Each structure stands twice: as structure tokens, then as C-alpha cells.
Amino acid sequence: MTAKRGYKRGYPVALLVGFEDDQAVLWRVFSNVIKHEKTLWLDGDIEDSKAAYNFHESIINALRPTLKEGVRSIILASSPRMDYAQEFITHVRMHHAWLTQGPNKAAFSITTGSASTLGEVAALTRTPQFHKQISETTSEEIGHLVNTLEKRLNSPDQNTVVLYSLKEIEDLILGAWKPGRPRPEQFMLTDRYLSESHEKNRIHRLLQVAGNKNIKTRIVDAESTAGKRLTQLGGLVFFAQLRQPDTNGSARAH
């Protein structure tokens, strides 16, 4: 990975947050590049509990859009003399259990180093340790998704829908949702499936439409444990949940 411009960005891999004394810098890590997302400034003193709370909440809010897209691997970087990253994780555990529990939980890891400027990020991402950390963190996150998939595959619940056909997935994503029709939840495919497919334009369009409809998408390294499992299933997997209208006309899951 590199922080240089001028390359195709590839697919989303993780989020990187660089902590400094008075700021947090967010970066989106793609398979080919890393792009600056946002810089958040601390309003006050980090020793002030209210200022620290508001600062951490601003980081959570900045992470939400990417989390909703389906990327839930988060690398936190700070200098060895500071414990800003650990303080943030403590905040997450205390106030945002949805990020640490359940099938959609995020995977957090802490790395030592600065990541507040493009040069610092470029230096950090050139180290073998960072690449290893990215691999381990994304493997943990995607492992959660594969566990959810395995439960769906083995579930006796007839309201669970798992699809492997590009045409079926296309029909479900592009079609309008209505009661009695499966509601899309997660779209997963391997990078090899995408690179070797003769239907790249269709797949890229599906990924774009899925994102617009707030359907979580994840492209997985085919060589990873999760990727090998997806390859066994054809390299492309989609799961959805059948919902029915309740007595007042709104949709509910069984």
C-alpha cells in the first residue's frame, strides 16, 4: 500500500486513525492507496473528561459512514509515550457496545507510530509490521462475517436467504424492496473473483448501488482464511433476511 496519488485506489480495506496531542487524523485504507478522510481537533484539554468525551464522540461520528458501508477494521496509531489509542478503545467499550459486541462488531488494533501527515502515513505503511497488522485486523473482522455466514448456511430459519448467483444477487439489489421480499444485508466477494470475472462492470455497478442503498459490502483477500471459504462457495456470497409486515403495516424480521 502507498499514500501516493495517481493510482487506482482499489477496494476498501480498513480505517486508520492517527492520534496526536490535540487531534485525530482519519485515513481510509484501500488495497492500492491510502486517502485522507478527515482531521478532528480536540476542543480543550484531553485531561478534561468532558472535552475527552466530546473528542472521542466526534471520532465515532466520523467513522460511522465507512462502518455503514461494511468496513469494520480500525487501526489506531499513536506514539509510544501516549496512550491516546487505548483511551479511545476504553471509550468505545463504555459507550458503544455495538462496536465491540454482536455479529457486526468492529476489529480494533493499536500500532505505534505517527499517522497525522501524508509523509508519516507513507512511512508507516512501508513497514512489514503495518502490513501484518492490517492482515490480522481485517482477518478478525471478516472472520466475524464468515461466522455469521456459516450460521446462516446452517440455520433452519426459512426467512434466511443466502445467494451465490450474480444474476440473483443483481435482481435483489437492483429491485425495489417490499414486504415479503428478502431484505439485503451483506454482499461479500473475493478480490480474485472481481479481478477474474468477465462481468466486472456489472459487479462494480452492483457495489455502487449496494452502497447507495446502505447494503454492507466487503471485498475479501482470496488468500485469507475467509477468502478461501468464500472461494469454496464460488467467490461471491450474499445474504438477506425475509421480512414480513406486522399488524400496523411496518416491516419486521422473523
Write the pLDDT tens digit of every residue in 96-121: 999 998 777 899 999 999 999 999 99
How far is residue 226 CA from its own chain's centroid? 15
What distance in Å separates the CA atoms of residue 218 and residue 12, rounded to the nearest whole number? Answer: 8
Question: Could you tell me the domains of the chain?
Answer: 12-143 (3.30.420.60), 155-253 (3.30.1330.30)
Per-residue pLDDT reduced to its tens digit, 173-188:
888 777 777 888 889 9
What distance in Å separates the CA atoms of residue 113 and residue 20, rounded to the nearest whole number? Answer: 10
Radius of gyration of the chain (CA): 19
Reduce the DSSP state of residue 224 to 3 states and report it.
Answer: coil
Say what percent of the chain tops pLDDT 90: 57
- Yes or no: say if 34 and 124 are a contact pair by the CB < 8 Å rule: no
Q: Is the pTM of this model over 0.75?
A: yes
Q: Nine-digit cell at 39? A: 482531521
Reduce the DSSP state of residue 31 to 3 states and report it.
Answer: coil
The dihedrals phi and psi of 96, each to the nearest 5 degrees, come to: -140, 70
Reduce the DSSP state of residue 141 to 3 states and report it.
Answer: helix
Mean pLDDT score of the chain, rounded to an integer? 87
